[in-house]
Chain A
Amino acid sequence: MNLGSILEQTISQAFGVNAMVFAMAVIGLNVHFGYTGLLNFGQIGFVAMGGYGLGMSITIFGWNPWLGILVGLVYALIFALLLGVPTLRLRGDYLAIVTIAASEVLRILVRSTTIAEWTGGNTGITNFAGAFYQFNPFTERVYDFGPFFYTGPNLFILSIGWPLVLLVTFLIWQLMRSPWGRVVKAIREDEDAARALGKNAYWYKMQSLMLGGVIGGLAGILLAIGNSTVQPDYFVPVQTFFMWTALILGGVGRVWSPIVGSMLFWGLLTATDGVLRGFEAEGWIPRWLMNASQVGQIRFMLVGLGLALLMIYRPQGLFGSREEMMLDAR
């Protein structure tokens, strides 16, 4: 077992495309749940909307790629409106039910053969990101960063994505310190109290749903450009749950938790995978307990176990405040 290479893998994943896309999507989720208290279990649907909006407008409609980015964001915005209009007047649980269902309906819809001429069916949409890569300054195949490396195209999307993640983080931080942020946090605490003080809770929840949704859409656009493809089966509900995991890992309602939570999540997933495979190869794990083909599943079990322990010993996540957390119990 090569510990050094496991560490390299872990670090390269923690800064990789997956973590970057997650960080962006989780910022949106944090706006929804962490600041406004909206239970969104369909964030991956917003990501899909962003990706498909971009892919469709380039390959199907033949529009300008930059316009495609706008279309992706508008798709996510429309998705937010569709989900929010019927549910945000109701109790919070309804949004949870509708978002998880809608994101799954969306995935099944885009992979269906009926509308395959627009969405590409189960193969999705491919080869549309070329227009963006003409700006790629990283023309070599592989770039070495000491122990680990990124391919040129990867480095391109990372060098755009991570600064964008930081920019959005900054904007959200700014927003949540403003009176607007105070209103949404008040709605998180008690919607009726906010209404009694003259705040249109419904409209603020809608704004928050749209904002977090559009950030999710932006994550989808980064994903689509990074992979040069959108495929329906990436957008499964479990992705949303991974995003929740990352958010809780970092600490709900904190500025840095989406970034750090996403990096940790992908890093840990890679590390457990590497260690398990290493152990298995060394013959330290008896065959009746686990074989090499089961590593993929077992690592999720371990991550689940880790989360359970986190909930017991540090329920507020890495950045959360325990004092604040305990207030809820009263």
Chain B
Amino acid sequence: MPADTAGALAGVAHQPGVDKPDPILVVEGMRRSFGGLLAVDVDKVSVQRGLITALIGPNGAGKTTFFNLLTGFDEPDAGTATFDGQSVSGMSSYKLANKGMVRTFQLTKSLTRLSVIENMKLGAKDQKGESFLRAFVPFIWRYQEEEIEDRAEALLERFQLSHMRDQYAGTLSGGQRKLLEMARALMAEPMLVMLDEPMAGVNPVLTQSLLEHVKGLRAAGITVVFVEHDMDVVRDISDWVVVMSEGRVIFEGPPDVISQDPAVIDAYLGAHHDAPLTEEQEEQQIARAEAELADSEDDIT
């Protein structure tokens, strides 16, 4: 964790819903239920500007649902959201993206039958040629299109995808698709990038490169929120960690203290994982082990 970022949150208490000194995103009272199941029930979360915040939790904790609510891909039953000082409650996904909050997906959504460069160019905002009537008059948008193409090529270079420029995105490997999706999100010049499991299904070598790219976002002043399972990744790159369990935020704090917090350990391992066994259970286990031993001896003779 870099020293300056540690400074920004140095005095912040390690407790759920704590206020941050300079929040870019604040959600309050966000609830979403599916039938009888309350999937997300978050009282308050605020995200510090310019840092990398990890959202972790065991399977079924409601991370992805929460993520979808934040990005406008799902509508909450209740709750408010403020992004960069403006209320964005109930705002649809594409408007949020235009305001500077761009997300990626757990299952990468590369636009298969478009070329890599077209994928990239799609990401740019405020394109004049995206209006129906102007689309027929190329000289209105041609100059902007060239600018966008230059920017796209620079990003492809940075993400080491230049050699795939004119290939269909569908021909990329899983890891390359993750890279493409991240690069494409950057084309929209976001303030906040939301990454849904950016490392899932990526080989270790590429994971390193992806991690560097995520750190690069922070260096460029972009705020990052990401969902992740891999604790090594979380420890390596995040400045702040929000832990969810059963739809609620149960802990917040810097990555080096989360693994010591009893609430987090309980959420991941169950409340009684290290409680001593009763005598009866112990006897049953011994009996089972002996039976197995006897079986294997039978096999030998």
Contacts and interface: CB of A to CB of B under 8 A. Distances in A.
| A and B: bona fide binding partners | yes
Interface of A: 171, 174-175, 178-183, 185-186, 188-190, 192-201, 207, 211, 323-324, 327-328, 330
Given A178-B138, A196-B104, A327-B168, 13 more contacts: A175-B135, A181-B135, A182-B122, A183-B122, A185-B113, A190-B111, A192-B109, A193-B105, A197-B122, A197-B123, A198-B94, A207-B132, A328-B170
Contacts of A182: 114, 118, 121-122, 130
A37 to B, nearest CB: 10
Interface string B105-142: 10001111110001001110101111110111010010
A180 B109 CA distance: 20
B136 A171 contact: yes
A189 B131 CA distance: 20
B188 A180 contact: no
A76 to B, nearest CB: 16
A88 to B, nearest CB: 14
Contact of A180 (B94, B98, B111, B131): B131
A324 B113 contact: yes
Interface in B49-84: 71, 73
Given A197-B188, A324-B168, A192 B97 contact: no
Given A185-B114, A198-B125, A178 B136 contact: yes
B84 to A, nearest CB: 15
B272 to A, nearest CB: 40
Nearest to B127: A179
Contact of B93 (A180, A195, A211): A195
B168 A323 contact: yes
Given A189-B112, A189-B113, A194 B138 contact: no
Nearest to B71: A196
A186 B115 CA distance: 11
9 contacts: A174-B136, A175-B135, A185-B114, A192-B93, A195-B73, A196-B93, A197-B97, A207-B132, A327-B170
Given A195-B97, A198-B97, A179 B145 contact: yes
B289 to A, nearest CB: 47
Nearest to A326: B170
B214 interface: no
Contacts of B121: 179, 182
B103 A196 contact: yes
A186 B130 CA distance: 12
B129 A178 contact: yes
A186 B131 CA distance: 15
Given A182-B118, A182-B121, A183-B130, A201 B94 contact: yes
A200 B94 contact: yes
Contacts of B170: 327-328, 330
A179 B122 CA distance: 8
B185 interface: yes
A182 B187 CA distance: 15
B33 interface: no
A93 to B, nearest CB: 20
B150 to A, nearest CB: 15
- CB-based closest 7 A-B pairs: A327-B170, A179-B129, A198-B97, A180-B135, A178-B135, A193-B109, A189-B111
A327 B113 contact: yes
B227 interface: no
B97 A196 contact: yes
A200 B94 CA distance: 6
B32 interface: no
A193 B97 contact: no
B31 interface: no
B39 interface: no
B128 to A, nearest CB: 8
Contacts of A178: 129, 135-136, 138, 141
B184 interface: yes
B15 interface: no
Contacts of B93: 192, 195-196
A46 B129 CA distance: 27
A194 B92 CA distance: 13
A192 B129 contact: no
B168 A192 contact: no
Given A327-B168, A327-B171, A197 B184 contact: yes
A180 B128 CA distance: 9
Interface in B223-281: none
Contacts of B185: 196-197
A249 B113 CA distance: 20
B102 interface: yes
Interface string B178-192: 000000110110000
Interface in B156-202: 168, 170-171, 184-185, 187-188
Contacts of A171: 136
B279 to A, nearest CB: 55
Contacts of A196: 71, 73, 93-94, 97, 102-105, 109, 185
B141 A179 contact: yes
A36 to B, nearest CB: 13
Nearest to A180: B135
Contacts of B188: 197-198
A198 B136 contact: no
Contacts of B184: 197
A235 to B, nearest CB: 28
B111 A185 contact: yes
B246 to A, nearest CB: 27
A253 to B, nearest CB: 8
A175 B171 CA distance: 26
